[in-house]
Structure 1
Amino acid sequence: MSEKKMISIVTPCYNEEENIDELYQRIAAVMATLPYDYEHICIDNASTDGTVKRIKELAAQDKRVKLIVNARNFGHIKSPYYAIQQSNGDACVLIASDLQDPPEMIIEFVKKWEEGFKTVLAVKPESEESSVMFFLRKSYYRLITKISEVALVQNATGAGLFDRAVIDILRTIDDPYPYFRGLLCEIGFPIATVPFKQPRRQRGVTKNNFYTLYDIGMLGITNHSKVPLRLMAMSGFFLAFLSLLVAFMFFVAKLLFWDSFQLGTAPILIGIFFFGAIQAFFIGVLGEYIGSIHTQVRKMPLVVELERVNF
């Protein structure tokens, strides 16, 4: 009789002490309904509260609970990606530890996997979060989908299930700062989606802020699109032509109305500020691409571990 397949469940944590118990219980309840063994991998990004202590207590009671403690906070992009690569299951599920990705979705993920999909992603066509933030997220997804060199899944949260074949491919990709959702689409396997309404966070505070959201937003653009660079080049040609045309018009106007036509300082100041702003914007975009190259060249490890439990 063949052994049961195993599913690895990865939950990245950072100061989620208030949610750990419910997260563990709901995952255990879901997996009890499925005919698979499982391991629950918690990777902690150097929490400053009692998250690590509580996970260790759970790990002492249940050997299926495994813990990786990072030496410092390596960010919300690197840490989950590293934990996925440490999984041993025939498939790996990634969900957030703040319970905004309901663990009950695992059942739907597994159904899609059993149908033959190697990649399953959770998408949120609606959410109980701030309407302004939700609108900005949807607008970003529409933008990145249009300019990306590969078709990306709109409104994907990052939660999902990934077959062992996908994990093996990810392990061969030497990317020290990956845009995970984009990589999954670049691999090319058909992607199944599981829509859900994202609930509001019940306990704790979100760890995302303007900088972290901007970071992952720019990462998606610089890693998967050359469109901004092409727009910079085309805009440069267009503005140069427009400047030449305006200069010619002023020249003709001066010749025709030599005594009455006065240029004044206003057009000069407006032109200086306008072109200065355009140049600053273009230099900033170029700097994002250079920063991405710098990160790739340094080849720093995804994560440095402080300790492991139950591995």
Structure 2
Amino acid sequence: MKTVSVLIPCFNEVGNVGPMSEAVVNEFKENLPDYDYELVFIDNFSTDGTREKLEEICAHNPKIKAIFNAKNFGQFNSPFYGICQTTGDCTVSICCDFQDPVSLIHRCVREWEKGYKIVAAIKTQSEENKVFRFLRTCYYKVIKKMSSVEQIEHFTGTGLYDKSFVDVLRQLDDPTPFMRGIVAELGPERKDIPYTQEKRRTGKTHNNWYSLYDAAMLSFTSYTKVGLRMATFLGFIIAFVDFLFALYYLVAKIIWWSAFPLGTAPLLIGMFFIGSVQLIFLGLLGEYVMSINTRVMHRPLVVEERRINF
């Protein structure tokens, strides 16, 4: 009998881990009776009682396991590390807040049975905030155009990964893995399946503008060169425009200065414009440098505090 691992990252989900574990167990009983299962929760240093709840759940079912991180290691490292700790013939990763329907498990497994090594769940519809949805769509369109590697629109990492691909993930030496890009860059032939993202069942979302910006910058610095090349090209363009302005000022000073004084306004506007462009690209360059700095330090993805039922 083959084993399907289900990886569920969680952070302050005390109201969801219990119902989620029950829903996953029922999913296997009703829709996947021919498969054994392993349910792995990886807790990213929750402080609301989630850990105590997971201890209770694991005590009643040895097939439910838990990894407790010693600190909060971010929204990318913890799920990636959790996938690498699974032992099943394939691993399905879903969120703990019920925004990813549990029915995705058997849908992904059915496609896996057809021979696909990766099954990516694509959010074709969502009940999330309309503004966030619009911004996400714009982000995916932009990164897809700018990246030299295929980028999967509205794919957040939810889906199924064959054991062979999980072995590939274990070999990666990347302290800041961007799972969505890794799947597109290194993954074998995959199947995309659509789903509607539902509203969070309980609790509050932990995503905010900063976390979304962090995700965008990680993908941008990992899979695009366009930003730095834009800085180079724009630098040439501004230099050329400045040369034309300088030439115009020279001619005006010689011929029309007394009749048509130019003043300092154009000069000040040009200085502020050039300065703002420099600051923008200096910040962009800093993002690349920070990304490089994080990767060359070779720090572990996470540090575990303890495990249960492993």
TM-score (norm 1): 0.97
Give the secondary-structure state (helix, strand or coil) at the position aligned to 2:278. Answer: helix
CA distance in 1, matches of 2:281, 2:252: 32
Q: Residue 229 of structure 1 aligns with which residue?
A: 228
Percent identity, please. Answer: 45
Paired residues for 1:206-225 under 5 Å:
206-225=205-224
CA distance in 2, matches of 1:188, 1:13: 25
Once the two structures are superposed, residues 218-238 of structure 1 have per-residue CA deviations (whole angstroms, 9 ceiling, x without a partner) of: 000100111111111111111
Give the secondary-structure state (helix, strand or coil) at the position aligned to 1:231. Answer: helix
Paired residues for 1:1-311 under 5 Å:
4-32=1-29, 33-34=31-32, 35-311=34-310
TM-fit CA distance, 1:242: 1.1
Count the aligned residue pairs.
308
TM-fit CA distance, 1:26: 1.1
In the alignment, is the contact (CA less than 8 A) between 1:254 and 1:261 conserved in 2? no
In the alignment, is the contact (CA less than 8 A) between 2:165 and 2:187 conserved in 1? no
In the alignment, is the contact (CA less than 8 A) between 2:119 and 2:161 conserved in 1? yes
Give the secondary-structure state (helix, strand or coil) at the position aligned to 2:148. Answer: coil
TM-fit CA distance, 1:91: 0.4
* Amino acid in structure 2 at the alignment position of 1:255: I
TM-fit CA distance, 1:70: 0.4
Once the two structures are superposed, residues 183-216 of structure 1 have per-residue CA deviations (whole angstroms, 9 ceiling, x without a partner) of: 0111141221111111111210001111111111
CA distance in 1, matches of 2:243, 2:223: 34
- Structure 2: any 5+ residue segments left out of the alignment? none
TM-fit CA distance, 1:261: 2.3
Give the secondary-structure state (helix, strand or coil) at the position aligned to 2:6. Answer: strand
Give the secondary-structure state (helix, strand or coil) at the position aligned to 2:15. Answer: helix
CA distance in 1, matches of 2:38, 2:106: 15
CA distance in 1, matches of 2:85, 2:177: 16
In the alignment, is the contact (CA less than 8 A) between 2:118 and 2:187 conserved in 1? no
In the alignment, is the contact (CA less than 8 A) between 1:70 and 1:303 conserved in 2? yes
TM-fit CA distance, 1:268: 1.6
Once the two structures are superposed, residues 52-92 of structure 1 have per-residue CA deviations (whole angstroms, 9 ceiling, x without a partner) of: 11111111111110000000111111000000000001101
TM-fit CA distance, 1:262: 1.5
TM-score (norm 2): 0.97
| Alpha carbons of structure 1 residues 188 and 15: separation in structure 2 relative to 1, 3 Å | closer
Farther off after superposition, 136-145 or 266-275: 266-275
In the alignment, is the contact (CA less than 8 A) between 1:6 and 1:89 conserved in 2? yes
CA distance in 1, matches of 2:92, 2:189: 17
Farther off after superposition, 275-284 or 193-202: 193-202
TM-fit CA distance, 1:251: 1.8
TM-fit CA distance, 1:166: 0.6
Aligned-pair RMSD on alpha carbons? 1.0
TM-fit CA distance, 1:282: 0.4
Once the two structures are superposed, residues 117-163 of structure 1 have per-residue CA deviations (whole angstroms, 9 ceiling, x without a partner) of: 11111111221111111000011011111111111110112100000
Give the secondary-structure state (helix, strand or coil) at the position aligned to 1:39. Answer: strand
CA distance in 1, matches of 2:269, 2:196: 47
TM-fit CA distance, 1:254: 2.7
* Amino acid in structure 2 at the alignment position of 1:58: I
